[in-house]
A and B are shown apart, each in its own frame.
Chain A
């Protein structure tokens, strides 16, 4: 009987967390429909086209999953950091450095194929982790808020990567006169995350799903997950209970950075075969990941689903544009509205964290 009550409670909890994002998505699509109506098209047909374009055929579905891969990883990076009370937004910078590291190691390191892939992923994970832990250090040592440090570090990473692929690492075979973004040299065919099967998505997606499961396991089943959650809910309580706050900070930032960095490497090894200037920045993978994580209320499995939904929106949107002559901006509007809803939630989380942190610090100092 007691068990039954717990089940009910759990179920109610799930309904509770799922309702809000579902409503947000629904309203966003309704408003999108209004825009489509104003353009003079049939929103039902348009959305049908969009869904078909995102999930209707194996090719489309695989396209969506491919696009979802870095979004999932960016989302996990947010889940890990935010659940522990650190509102880091450095996924983008870490993902960029991860992508560059993977492109670099994949291109230059003289190892046989699959070992080189492994080394490239390791390098990407390390790059993301170090960059992420750096903002953790700024926070611990100088009290720099994560929002500020991570946002600024994103720019530094992007411009640093732009410099690298414009000058020292520029693809020697690139056509100087062609109008295109600078890029690094193309990786050999053997240095890649190949498709799982012919016509399927690349292994990066599988690894991302694996990362989701690992994160879920970490959160739910390990004492690390417990400590990080308690630190996120009430940092003073964690301190009082003997949790080493400093160690948790760096561990959390490390894991979060590893996820983002790997996300960058999956995009390079599974899709682009090189680092192309702005490839992470202009696609907004990390930010879409953050929206996914917020939609899922920092639940890793929910983040996976939300990432696929948001990737589908972008992929299906292009089909809608081609087949129905509806501008792609409609999709941007829908994603924008979702983001708007979710940033309401984000502000609440961040404000809560700041308040709790301030109290925790006040307690040590007062």
Chain B
């Protein structure tokens, strides 16, 4: 056992991030910690890495009780962490970054030859190919991550923590990363992998902990479980638990025909044709960055398309303004709640009003009616159970889940025939997630056409009546509910094909 954590509890204000967590890691083992956003998996690793201090509990490294005050303590005990956001100097070389703070010197100067040699040596020892003299700015993301790993290896880490390492990588880079992780374990390093991508977990781990709401709810050997069981444990109930009535699709309310988008000479969308009928939830599955954001921006009028058509309610709305498209009967829960979906510095009232600012009874001939606006905001807050102290509160004072609920409330209350939901539950707690999902299903029963974009495959699979798979800006597959399992979907999402893939 290289480390063991016992009875770790950590609270932020009134939120319990970790509740009596205990876990351990064996030498040469690849351990995965899975859980949804906010399940407490990052917190527990931050505690192990010395970034956070637990309220109570003990950490043993190689059998010795340790107290870490900051990451350098953890590093000294042989624990290294590959952060989700890399900390590298863009303008310096790979070698300089790897030996940062541990420079090899010749007199007052840095000994460049020895530095480069050292980096070559560790790079060869762990079979992590890299050019020591390349500038970070010229390295793709996958290589930058490799630099981070080498940096930790140079500091003699025995335990390496990866925090959502695949979030920023392309599918090919993910494969390389998984191979790297296996190689490190073979070389005797002990690995902790924090992720919510179950395919990767199954591909590399020996053992898995599942966390939910701050607790470890299950421990499994990878060979004895499968994605479905892990997903169920993560969410806390079987995925098919939604009472989903068979769809009663009506007229086509949203349609794109051969949509193309070229940006800076790059083809971001190619011939995307899809349709969403009334009473139907249609999911777009895909690895982030394969054209989902562009597609939604084209449909909602935030981006001018290069070619093709967008039809809302049967009317051609190609390249119309956001206002016109919204007026044609479309509402849009945006992918990022603070970038697009709200003004964090604005009040809840102001955020609730958006898109209705020119509507009776909230304004009349350009004059606003504060009473009606306040009542409306209060109604949204009440209906969707947003935890807020007052409609005059600032948006940024709300927790992520509550902010998201307000945005969902705003867009759903527009009661439009077409509803676009982009990452409607990203980074929010399970309660809020279920509330939002059941609202979406309710709207589907009421005959709305819903287009759902999500990077959570489980979300797509459990809600959608039909699924399109988007890969590099193209639709590479279309499936009805139940006609496809997540393994094949996952394969299509990374550009594989069903015939050849296994």
Binding site for B on A (CB under 8 A): 2, 5-6, 9-10, 221-227, 229-230, 233-234, 236-244, 359, 363-366
Contacts and interface: CB of A to CB of B under 8 A. Distances in A.
A237 to B, nearest CB: 5
Size category, B interface: 35 or more
A223 B356 CA distance: 10
Interface in B328-386: 332, 334, 339-346, 350, 353-355, 357-358, 363, 366-368
A238 B355 CA distance: 9
A241 B357 contact: yes
B389 A237 contact: no
13 contacts: A5-B390, A9-B393, A221-B368, A223-B358, A226-B357, A227-B357, A229-B346, A230-B354, A233-B344, A240-B354, A243-B322, A364-B302, A366-B293
Contacts of B343: 230, 233-234, 237
Contacts of B326: 242
A365 B264 contact: yes
Interface in B54-112: none
Contacts of A244: 321, 323
B366 A222 contact: yes
A168 to B, nearest CB: 42
A363 B327 CA distance: 23
Contacts of A224: 366
B339 A229 contact: no
A236 B339 contact: yes
B263 interface: yes
Contacts of B368: 221-223, 225-226
B176 interface: no
B321 A222 contact: no
Interface of B: 263-264, 293, 297, 300, 302-303, 321-323, 326-327, 332, 334, 339-346, 350, 353-355, 357-358, 363, 366-368, 389-390, 392-393
A225 B373 CA distance: 15
B438 to A, nearest CB: 25
A5 B263 CA distance: 50
Contact of A242 (B303, B323, B339, B345): B323
A359 B336 CA distance: 13
Given A223-B358, A363-B339, A240 B334 contact: yes
Nearest to B289: A366
A354 B257 CA distance: 37
The CB with the most chain A CB atoms within 10 A, among B344, B355, B357, B389, is that of B357
Nearest to A359: B339
Given A234-B345, A242-B321, 19 more contacts: A2-B390, A6-B392, A9-B390, A9-B392, A10-B392, A226-B350, A226-B368, A229-B346, A233-B344, A234-B342, A234-B346, A237-B340, A238-B354, A239-B302, A240-B340, A242-B322, A243-B322, A243-B357, A363-B339
The CB with the most chain B CB atoms within 10 A, among A229, A238, A241, A244, is that of A241
The CB with the most chain B CB atoms within 10 A, among A221, A229, A242, is that of A242
Contact of A241 (B264, B354, B392): B354
B340 to A, nearest CB: 5
B262 to A, nearest CB: 12
Contact of A237 (B263, B354, B367): B354
A194 to B, nearest CB: 34
Contacts of A243: 322-323, 357
Contacts of B346: 229-230, 233-234
B389 A236 contact: no
A225 B357 CA distance: 10
A89 to B, nearest CB: 23
B38 to A, nearest CB: 24
A223 B360 CA distance: 12
A107 B363 CA distance: 44
A5 to B, nearest CB: 6
A229 B347 CA distance: 11
A221 B366 CA distance: 9
A273 B377 CA distance: 53
A237 B342 contact: yes
A66 B302 CA distance: 48
Contacts of A366: 293
Contacts of A240: 300, 302, 322, 332, 334, 340-341, 354
Contacts of B366: 222-224
A231 to B, nearest CB: 9
Top 4 nearest A-B pairs (CB, nearest first) are: A241-B354, A242-B323, A233-B343, A234-B343
A127 to B, nearest CB: 26
Nearest to B326: A242
A240 B264 CA distance: 23
A248 to B, nearest CB: 12
A229 B366 CA distance: 15
B390 A6 contact: yes
B342 A242 contact: no
B389 A5 contact: yes
The CB with the most chain B CB atoms within 10 A, among A223, A233, A238, is that of A223
A226 B389 CA distance: 22
A223 B368 CA distance: 6
A162 to B, nearest CB: 41
A226 B369 CA distance: 12
A321 to B, nearest CB: 44
A242 to B, nearest CB: 4
A226 B342 contact: no
A236 B341 CA distance: 8
A365 B293 CA distance: 11
Nearest to B393: A9
B389 A222 contact: no
Contact of B344 (A222, A234, A239): A234
A131 B389 CA distance: 45
Given A223-B358, A365-B264, A233 B345 contact: yes
A2 to B, nearest CB: 7
Nearest to B345: A233
A363 B367 contact: no
Nearest to B363: A223
A230 B357 CA distance: 11
A234 B323 CA distance: 17
Nearest to B410: A241
Contacts of B332: 240
Contact of B341 (A223, A237, A365): A237
Contacts of A365: 263-264
